[in-house]
Amino acid sequence: MVSDDATAARLTPDAVWAALDDVPDPEIPVVSVVELGMVREVRVDGDRVHVDLTPTFAGCPAFHAIRAAVEGRLAALGAREVEVHRRLAPPWSSDDLTDAARRKLADFGIAPPAPHGGAPLPLLDAPVACPRCGSLDTELTSAFGSALCREIHRCRSCLEPFERFKPL
């Protein structure tokens, strides 16, 4: 049995953020929902935790899985009640990806989107570096990859296809 005092001591916003950093994105498990920039706000009220999440892509089918994973992880931390709110405004942007997320995506073989600073229709024509060999001699072969948020490119240098996380 954990006393309420002990639970309260563990349930700090910092502890909640750290715990959420353990929750992987279901589609790209090498990055956490925190690294993706999906977690907008955390509020702790006694043993109740509120988390505001913004889906990376509206209608993202992974959102329900993420909500369940967040609830499970925070229950393990000692939260008696977890409320996950879906916050749609302001919309998620690929600029919300942390540097750690960009590195991990590249290591995973997915080209990260270039930061665009909110510029309208982000750099669709900018060259995309191949995550395997680094060549900029690449072409878009399909706007739809294995997930909504990815598109398929091909590298003309190493001839390998690769996925890119769409800029948004």
Encoded tokens for 63: 């959102």
Comparing CB distances to Zn ion, the nearer of 12 and 141 is 141
152: contact with Zn ion by CB under 5 A: no
Encoded tokens for 67: 């909500």
Answer for which of 40, 132, 148, 168 binds Zn ion (CB under 5 A) is: 132
> Which one, of 135, 125, 128, lies nearest residue 156 by Cα?
135
Comparing CB distances to Zn ion, the nearer of 48 and 132 is 132
Answer for which of 133, 148, 152, 168 binds Zn ion (CB under 5 A) is: 133
Residue 72's φ and ψ, nearest 5 degrees, are: -65, -40
Residue 91's φ and ψ, nearest 5 degrees, are: -65, 155
Of the candidate spans 2-10, 108-116, 118-126, 128-136, the one that interacts with Zn ion by CB under 5 A turns out to be 128-136
Of the candidate spans 20-28, 95-103, 133-141, 145-153, the one that interacts with Zn ion by CB under 5 A turns out to be 133-141
Comparing CB distances to Zn ion, the nearer of 46 and 134 is 134
- The residues pairing with 82 across neighbouring beta strands, listed in sequence order, are 49
Answer for which of 38, 129, 130, 147 binds Zn ion (CB under 5 A) is: 130
155: contact with Zn ion by CB under 5 A: yes
Burial readout 24-53 (b: 16 or more C-beta within 10 A, e: otherwise) = bbbbbeebbbbbbbbbeebebeeeebbbeb
Please report which helix (H) or strand (E) contains residue 65, including its range: helix 63-77
109: contact with Zn ion by CB under 5 A: no
Distances (CA, A) of 136 to 115, 128, 157: 16, 6, 9
Residue matched to tokens 């009640």: 81
Smallest distance from Zn ion to CB 98, Å = 25
Comparing CB distances to Zn ion, the nearer of 61 and 134 is 134
Answer for which of 30, 87, 95, 135 binds Zn ion (CB under 5 A) is: 135
Residues in contact with Zn ion by CB under 5 A are 130, 132-133, 135, 155, 157-158
